[in-house]
Chains A and B, each alone.
Chain A
Amino acid sequence: MRVANLSFRYGRRAPWVLSGAELSLAEGDVVEVVGPNGTGKSTLLRLLAGLLRPVRGAIEDRPPVVGYAPERFPADQPFTVSSYLRHMAAVRRADPAVVGEWSERLGMAHLLDQRLPDLSKGSAHKVGLAQALLCRPGLLILDEPFAGLDTATRAELPRVVGEVSARGGIVVVSDHQGDLRAFPGLRRCEVRDGAVRALDSTDSTRVETLVGSPGASSGGASPAGAGRAVSSTVRAAVLRVEVPAAEATGLADRLRAEGYRVDMDSGGPANQDTPLPEAAE
């Protein structure tokens, strides 16, 4: 997918939001779009999603199936979570069973019978994420996906992003909170003064992500998505971190979700199969 000489403004007399922007996205890319408020990050995301038409330039080779989660999910709708997602699955021609699977995975299975207007901000945001993921997108656009999410879902989302990337999907995320900053192989772009500028990646790690389920390894991420293993060629450092025992497992899971290898001294199920890599301190 390629963004070529992209310029956009909202009206003939409005100022240019983007001017001559260039961006090239390859299969499996995970791109974080950063920049100060009001510089055009959401506009760029909407252009990439095909919601807005470039005034000049072009966006070429957009994957046919696009998932889009807006910054604010429109919860003011007369549906329950379950009926809304079933409608969206039908619109996407997806198997209705994926509604239950994504609800479990995003920690909102207990909310399925709730009406959308009654949801908290974070819960509504999960529904927005779920509808974007129902269709196994080739391009996944997430506008501030971590806003308002609970810890477990914040830990799960990088894993989901990794699975979409692993099957060749492109993921573009606007993220002020930096929750994806540690994602292996993350590309970062800054929108500023109408231009899109590539930032240095957080590291130069090349990561091959293998998703454990057979269906996923043949080109698609399973919502169940367990068994992720990461092999990488890294210049790594080893940190020793002491945390209260009650928090250890959760923290270890979260770090693993972000692609790190974690060893736990205190035992437990988390350290059974994750030896530390050979690393340079």
Chain B
Amino acid sequence: MIALARFRLVGYIASHRALQPFIGLLPLLAIMYATPVPAGQELGAMADSAGMLIPVFAWGARGLLDREPDEQRMISLVATGRGELFSGLLAAYAYAGVLASISLIALVTRLSADPTAGMLAIGVLLHVFSITAGVALGALTSRPILPSPAVSTIALIVGYLVTLMVSTSTSVGQWLAVPVMAWMRDAHHGLLTDRLPLLSVQSLLWPVVGIAAYAWLRRTRP
């Protein structure tokens, strides 16, 4: 599985398709960090970054999973069985991890005050939630599930917008979608640390359901 994940990652980078989400990331970083982040806003900035990067991670995951021709995916499937599915997700996670690392480095260099280790840990955790949500969204809009590129692109964008809208509501909405707006709201109001355990469960619930749905659908969609 590791060898296949490496093969897919190398193929994605060598095909230059990996540049597309990276190029998409650059203007986002330029906008978010055009001015330094004021002291006391560190956690808020990290939550904003995690929330806004979900579509970039989804774009990267979808691009990586779609890079291979269908016949190559079949060759990989014959070679590794269900390992083909997990290797794709693993490679998508790895690439999204690289994008998240770049974003976090850019963020930290624009902070006016030095963040504490706790803040950094929470920032990394929020980006892990963001990557998980992005990979799940990217996988569910990849070619084996949605063969039409147009439908796939629209589904990716609409999926993210619906997540934002549903998570805007305070209580129930946080259980119906990844609570992206709650991350931001609680971080800016100084409530994130206290509510983190519940938010962690809510943040992982739908991505795990999404990845399970992807795995289930792939049983009949090689």
On A, residues with C-beta under 8 Å from B are 46, 49-53, 66-68, 70, 72-74, 76-79, 87-88, 90-93, 128, 131-132, 135, 141
Contact of B7 among A70, A73, A87, A132 (CB under 8 A): A87
Number of B residues with CB within 8 Å of any CB on chain A: 25
Query: Interface centre among B68, B69, B70, by most A CB within 10 Å?
Result: B69
Residue of A nearest to B69 (CB): A74
Q: Are A74 and B68 in contact (CB under 8 A)?
A: yes
Q: Are A78 and B3 in contact (CB under 8 A)?
A: no
Q: How far is the CB of B13 from chain A (nearest CB, A)?
A: 9
Q: Mark B49-70, 1 if CB is under 8 A from A, else 0.
A: 0000000000000000000111
Contacts of A92 in B (CB 8 A): 79
Alpha-carbon distance A73/B74, docked complex (angstroms): 11
Query: Interface centre among A46, A72, A91, by most B CB within 10 Å?
Result: A91
Contacts of A52 in B (CB 8 A): 220, 222
Alpha-carbon distance A92/B7, docked complex (angstroms): 12
Q: Are B222 and A87 in contact (CB under 8 A)?
A: no
Q: Are B74 and A51 in contact (CB under 8 A)?
A: yes
Q: Are A46 and B79 in contact (CB under 8 A)?
A: no
Q: Are B78 and A67 in contact (CB under 8 A)?
A: yes
Alpha-carbon distance A93/B2, docked complex (angstroms): 11
B75 within 8 A of A: yes
Alpha-carbon distance A70/B7, docked complex (angstroms): 19
Q: Are B78 and A49 in contact (CB under 8 A)?
A: yes
Alpha-carbon distance A72/B69, docked complex (angstroms): 11
Contact of B71 among A49, A70, A90 (CB under 8 A): A70
Q: Are A68 and B10 in contact (CB under 8 A)?
A: no
Contacts of A46 in B (CB 8 A): 74, 222
Alpha-carbon distance A76/B73, docked complex (angstroms): 13
Can you pick out 20 interface pairs between chain A and chain B where the beta carbons lie within 8 Å of each other? Answer: A51-B78, A51-B222, A52-B222, A68-B75, A68-B78, A70-B71, A73-B71, A74-B68, A74-B69, A74-B70, A77-B72, A87-B3, A87-B6, A87-B7, A87-B10, A88-B79, A91-B4, A91-B76, A128-B75, A131-B75
